[in-house]
Amino acid sequence: MGYYDEGRMGRNKRGGKGGYFLSGLAGVVVGVGLVIAILPSITDYQNDERTVVENQSSGHTEQVSVDVTTDVTKAVDKAKDTVVGITNIQETMNFFGAAATTQEAGTGSGVIYKKDGNKAFIVTNYHVVEGSQQLEVTLADGTKEPAKLIGSDVWTDLAVLSISDKNVDKVAEFGNSEALKIGEPVIAIGNPLGLEFSGSVTQGVVSGLERAVPVDLNGDMVSDWQAEVLQTDAAINPGNSGGALVNIAGQVIGINSMKIAENAVEGIGLSIPIDAVLPIIEDLESFGEVKRPAMGITLQNVSELPAYHQRQTLKLPEMVTEGVIIEQVLTKSPAAEAGLREYDVITKLDGKPIQDVIALRKYMYNHKKAGDSIMITYYRDGKQQQTELKLVAESDF
């Protein structure tokens, strides 16, 4: 016990005052040498990167500013001014006889992607503008502009607005979402939690490509569509909807959506790939809607029907367990003209198996357009049949 203390005490006694003096002198010499050696570097560093605000010798703490420029800051500088805030203004009912008033119903984000004539065009989410009586855009510098809704699409959760281009200096550059790689750095820019946090930036990576997420469009707890999205771990919060997902080159490669990610999970943000956005905004600009093809029928999944009715009511062979049931055929529709009837069961389109309503819609919307012909394989009274019809636009019904 106490051996280490005793050893140190013994050495100190043997060294005496002379040892202290020599050690101290050696320390001073070494210290002076180090200061002389590094003084030029310190001077260069201060001259190059630091600005002295107050001198320490005056009794004040020295303040310095450091100029930090990275690929991330360059990307943000390139894209941030193209991201705007969007305010959805709606009328509120008054039950006491007074006139209805308008108030803010919600806020989101948008991306300025084009200037044409005296207008600037903005892409955002459908749910950001849904139900609006008025729309107001807040630019990056705080300037507010009234906005006009050009068109919207509930299926892809996208919408296009226009504003005056008077105060718009920059438009976003679109990248190529097909070229993205898992692990690639990305940046989300938007207005989380409202305009008080406008221009907020979060960073992450591409966590997944071509994710298929079920979406319930009408609130009946049944999936109507599968949105194909990018997954990122960059934080995307309420208010970020409609904002930009940007690559390291400052190019927009996705439009963020909180609506698609209804079940919020920490570390998972979803964004609509820009390659899927482009044809939608082209249609919205030109027609105010997306010109999707339609047959003129309403549908139900075979799998939702009990096995008894699959066999007894529809008279399907035992091997047929998937497909879509025609619930209704609209009058004078392509389906009616092709001879399709209620309770026919569609199992193939152009020879490709169709498992359910979502699969049918995806094939139609991704591979066909109004005016195209399509071959329908279906079962009626237990017998397989085929018919061909010419598709029309959904808006024609």
Task: Find the CATH number of the domain harbouring 336.
Answer: 2.30.42.10
Report the first-to-last Cα separation within the chain, whole angstroms. Answer: 96
Output the pLDDT for position 260.
Answer: 65
For residues 116 and 212, membership in a common domain is answered with no
Q: Of the candidates 287, 321, 351, which is a domain's last residue? A: 287
Q: Are residues 371 and 297 located together in one domain of the fold? A: yes
Domain contains 235: yes
Taking 90 as the threshold, does the pLDDT of residue 130 lie above it?
Answer: yes
191 and 140 part of one domain: no
Cα 32 to the chain's mean position, in Å?
58
Q: Evaluate whether residue 245 is within a structural domain.
A: yes
* Interatomic CA distance for residues 300 and 298, integer angstroms: 7
Q: Which of 229, 260, 287 is where one domain is finished?
A: 287
In a domain, 262, yes or no: yes
Residue with tokens 């941030």: 80
Q: What is the pLDDT of residue 46?
A: 41
What's the pLDDT score for residue 379? 97
Nearest Cα residue to 300 out of 330, 339, 342: 342
Please state, in angstroms and rounded to a whole number, the distance separating the CA atoms of residues 326 and 300: 7
Residue 163 structure tokens:
């504003």
Q: Check whether 197 has a pLDDT greater than 90.
A: no
Per-residue pLDDT band for 289 (boundaries 50, 70, 90) equals very high
The whole-number pLDDT of residue 12 equals: 41
Catalytic residue among 153, 157, 165, 344: 157
Separation CA 260–CA 229 (nearest Å):
9
State whether 248 and 196 are in the same domain: yes
Other C-beta atoms within 10 Å of 354: how many? 25
Say if residue 321's pLDDT is above 70: yes
Model confidence at 106: pLDDT above 90 = no
Range scoring the smallest mean pLDDT among 66-75, 145-154, 287-296:
66-75
Which has the minimum average pLDDT: 28-37, 64-73, 321-330? Answer: 28-37
**Coil, helix or strand for 198?**
coil
Confirm whether 200 is a catalytic residue: no
Residue of 81, 127, 198, 257 marked active site: 127
Reading phi first (left if > 0) and then psi (alpha if -120 to 50, else beta), residue 2 is in: left
290 exposure class (CB count in 10 Å sphere: 0-12, 13-18, 19+): buried
In a domain, 46, yes or no: no
Higher pLDDT, 253 or 3: 253
Distance CA 378, CA 312 (A): 17
Domain holding 270, by residue range, is: 177-287
Instruction: Please determine, for residue 145, whether its predicted confidence score (pLDDT) is greater than 50.
Output: yes
Question: Does 383 lie in the same domain as 297?
Answer: yes
Q: Which stretch of 31-35, 349-353, 376-380 has the lowest confidence by average pLDDT?
A: 31-35
- What percentage of the chain reaches a pLDDT higher than 70? 78
**Tens-digit pLDDT profile for residues 230-283:** 999 998 887 888 999 999 999 999 999 876 655 555 678 899 999 999 999 999
Which pLDDT belongs to residue 104? 83
Residue 331 pLDDT: 92
Q: What pLDDT is recorded for position 215?
A: 83
Model pLDDT, residue 52:
45
C-alpha–C-alpha distance, residues 187 and 220, integer Å: 34
| 3 has a pLDDT exceeding 60 | no
* Per-residue confidence (pLDDT) for residue 173, from 0 to 100: 96
Q: Are residues 88 and 150 in the same domain?
A: yes
Give the DSSP per-residue string, 11-33: HHHHHHHHHHHHHHHHHHHHHHH
Q: Is residue 254 part of a domain?
A: yes
pLDDT above 90: residue 137: yes
The per-residue pLDDT for 385 is 97
Residue 163 has pLDDT above 90, yes or no: yes
Strands 200-215 and 185-190, by their bridges, are antiparallel
Whether residues 309 and 279 fall in one domain: no
Identify whether 90 is part of a domain.
Answer: yes
282 and 299 belong to one structural domain? no
Is residue 41 in some structural domain?
no
The amino acid at residue 260 is I
Instruction: Answer yes or no: is 184 within a domain.
Output: yes
Q: What is the pLDDT of residue 266?
A: 64
Phi, psi of 295 (to 5 degrees): -100, -25
How many structural domains are present in the chain?
A: 3
Given the residues 109, 241, 257, 271, select the one marked as catalytic. Answer: 241
Are the C-beta atoms of 318 and 300 separated by less than 8 Å?
no
Q: What is the mean pLDDT of residues 201-221?
A: 86
Spatial CB neighbours of 347, under 8 Å, sequence gap ≥ 6: 320, 322, 323, 353, 354, 377, 378, 379, 384
User: 260 and 198 share a domain?
Assistant: yes
Q: How many CB atoms lie within 10 A of CB 69?
A: 8
Q: Respond yes or no: is residue 275 known to be catalytic.
A: no
301, 382: one domain: yes
| Whole-angstrom distance, CA of residue 214 vs CA of residue 205 | 23
| 314 Cβ contact partners less than 8 Å away, ≥ 6 residues apart | 302, 305, 325, 343, 345, 379
**CATH number of residue 85's parent domain:** 2.40.10.10
What 3-state class would DSSP assign to 191?
coil
Inter-residue contact 252 to 173 (CB < 8 Å): yes
- How many angstroms separate the CA atoms of 206 and 253, rounded? 11
SS3 (DSSP) at 279:
helix
Going by C-beta distance under 8 Å and a sequence separation of 6 or more, which residues neighbour residue 305?
313, 314, 325
* Model confidence pLDDT, tens digit, residues 49-98: 444 444 555 556 566 666 677 889 999 999 999 999 999 999 877 666 66
Specify the DSSP class assigned to residue 247. E
Question: Which residue from 264, 242, 130 is spatially nearest to 192, judged by alpha carbons?
Answer: 242
Least confident of 55-69, 106-120, 169-183, 207-221: 55-69
Question: Does 221 have pLDDT greater than 50?
Answer: yes
**Average pLDDT score over the chain:** 83
Q: What confidence score (pLDDT) does residue 236 get?
A: 85
Q: How far from the centroid of its chain's Cα atoms is residue 211's Cα?
A: 13
Asked whether residue 110 falls in the same domain as residue 124, the answer is yes
Domain-terminating residue out of 138, 164, 190? 164
Q: Give residues with Cβ within 8 angstroms of 55, minimum separation 6.
A: 62
What does the pLDDT read at residue 223? Answer: 80
Proportion of the chain above pLDDT 90, given as a percent: 60
The answer on 376 and 320 residing in a single domain is yes
Note if 127 is an active site residue.
yes
| CA gap 50, 56 in Å, rounded | 14
